[in-house]
Chains A and B, each alone.
Chain A
Amino acid sequence: MNRKLDKIEKKNIYKVPDDYFNTLPGIIQSKALEESKKSSIAWSIPVIKYAVPALLVVILAGYYAFVNEQEQLKSAVELLSEVETDELVEYLAYSEITTEEILEIVELNEIDFEFENEETDLLNDSDLDDLEYVLDEFSENNEL
């Protein structure tokens, strides 16, 4: 048997039911008329006719407001990131904001920091024991 396409007879192997192509135009025509009637009925109902454009306006306005708000938020963050750290420190130093007020605003869990020595363990570090000892000594002396 030949495996080359041009040597194989070009043949449609599929069949359709008898009279299929004589009845199909009628079926399609009724379906098309039915569908277009459905959509014209829907548009002739006043509630739909006026509610759909109004709803679209509301959705678009909502979307525009949301996008606008996002852009504003984004630009505030972007503006702040453009300011040099030194300038920020200088501004804070000369402004009337106290350290306590700044600490109240800062959320500690948002601050990333790393120990210089990665092995530092706050709970078991012997330096803490020493510190505790010094503090005890200090409070005892003060009581006396």
Chain B
Amino acid sequence: MRLIVKGLEQSTTSLEDKELLEKLRNEETRNFAFNQLVRKYQERIYWHIRKMVIDHDDADDIVQDVFVKVYKAIGKFREDAQLFTWIYRIATNECLTFLNKKKRRFFLPIGDVEAELNNKLATSSDLDGDQIQMKLQKALLKLPAKQRLVFNMKYYDEMKYEEISEITNTSVGALKASYHHAVKKIEDLLKMELNH
């Protein structure tokens, strides 16, 4: 098993988005360009999803679905947004759909979905973190899914509020408030956990 310390790895030899899009729209170069696109964004998208669904197999299924959707819909992509923002938006929607489906399938209240994710976190063998890291992940699972998404994008992916705003279709002000509340809640939860 390989430990990925930082998710935002990017190939230096990858094509620029503009060039990628041109090649994706050309029947002859489409498959080559799609392969390049997956290589360029797969890690960012995978880690974005993995942090939301915790389990590798679930994340693997979702990341595949995301890129298949990208392949099918690339013709409809209007360049009023950045390519990576558009892919991120698809991935975000897929994550939320997955978590909602899970809740509906088992008629679970949100607390039970959290318990299930917590259980995955506790029993998963493909984790590598010290006590404080594990407690941070557990605290994160207590946040509502949308707030957790915002927190992950800001804290781990170090994205600008403007970028998150484009992805989530939420105002920058609302995102700042959401992130601020998330940080406060996490710090309170950590304080409680570590005092036990």
Contacts and interface: CB of A to CB of B under 8 A. Distances in A.
Interface of A: 1, 3-5, 8-21, 24-25, 27-29, 31-33, 35-36, 39
Contacts, number: 101
A15 B50 CA distance: 10
B2 A16 contact: yes
Interface residues of B, number: 45
Contacts of A19: 2
Contact of B3 (A4, A15, A21): A15
A24 B1 contact: no
B128 interface: yes
Given A11-B5, A21-B42, A25-B42, A32 B67 contact: yes
Contact of B67 (A9, A28, A36): A28
B103 interface: no
B6 interface: yes
A4 B60 CA distance: 32
B134 interface: yes
Given A13-B128, A16-B56, A16-B126, A24 B51 contact: no
Contacts of A11: 5, 129, 133
Interface string B28-43: 0001001100110011
A8 B194 CA distance: 13
Contact of B2 (A8, A15, A28, A31): A15
